Structure formats: structure tokens, C-alpha cells
Copies of this chain bind each other. A is one copy, B any other.
Amino acid sequence: MNIVEISKVLSNKTRVNILKWLKNPAENFPPHQDIDHFDDGVCVGYIQDKTGLSQSTISTYLNSMQNAKLVIPTRHGKWTYYRRNEEVIQGYVKVLENEL
């Protein structure tokens, strides 16, 4: 749980939005075809479409979010699905509450 590293992730509007969108995938993304639920999160392509940024940029963003343990990737066939890591996200808020 690294305040500085997580704050760096949150210091970008798009990355904050991605986290928010992932709270409610069904509301923010089209349904997946190969998988009829969002249990493992949302595929990179949908996230990219929603942001309008390039594929490599979004992949880089998701990688930094994964390094900070804010999201968890799961591979299904050729897709990678990302979902929130609620434990870490809530833990971060708690740490701020206590330490900040």
C-alpha cells in the first residue's frame, strides 16, 4: 500500500474515470460476447473505445494501475479483462483516513 504510487495513478483524469466506470461495468460498457457477465471486469478494447485514447496508451495506463494493485487482470482467450481490486482501493482510503 504505497500512497505515492497510488496517488500517481489517481493524478490523471482518465485513470480515475476507468476506476469509476469499473464500479458498474453493465452501465458503462456494452455486453461482452464471449462472456455474458462482467465478473472478471471489462476487456481492454471497450475501455479504449470509451476513452478515445490509443490502444497502447490504455494498455500502459492499465499496466500502471495493475502495478499499483488497483486492478486485477484475467485472461480469457485473446482478451484480458480488468476489474477493480476493491480490497486495495478501500485499503487506500483507510490508510489516507488514518495517516493523512
Q: Which residues of A line the B interface, CB within 8 A?
A: 3-4, 7-8, 10-13, 16, 19-20, 89, 92-93, 96-97, 99-100
Contacts A19-B100, A93-B93, A93-B100; is A7 near B7 (CB within 8 Å)? yes
CB distance B20 to A12 under 8 Å?
A: no
Residues of B within 8 A of A13 (CB): 4
Q: Which of B8, B89, B100 contacts A11 (CB 8 A)?
A: B8
Contacts A19-B100, A93-B97, A99-B20; is A7 near B3 (CB within 8 Å)? no
Contacts A7-B10, A11-B8; is A89 near B100 (CB within 8 Å)? yes
Q: A3 vs B11: C-alpha distance in the bound complex, in angstroms? A: 7
Q: A20 vs B96: C-alpha distance in the bound complex, in angstroms? A: 10
Q: A13 vs B99: C-alpha distance in the bound complex, in angstroms? A: 13
Q: A19 vs B20: C-alpha distance in the bound complex, in angstroms? A: 27
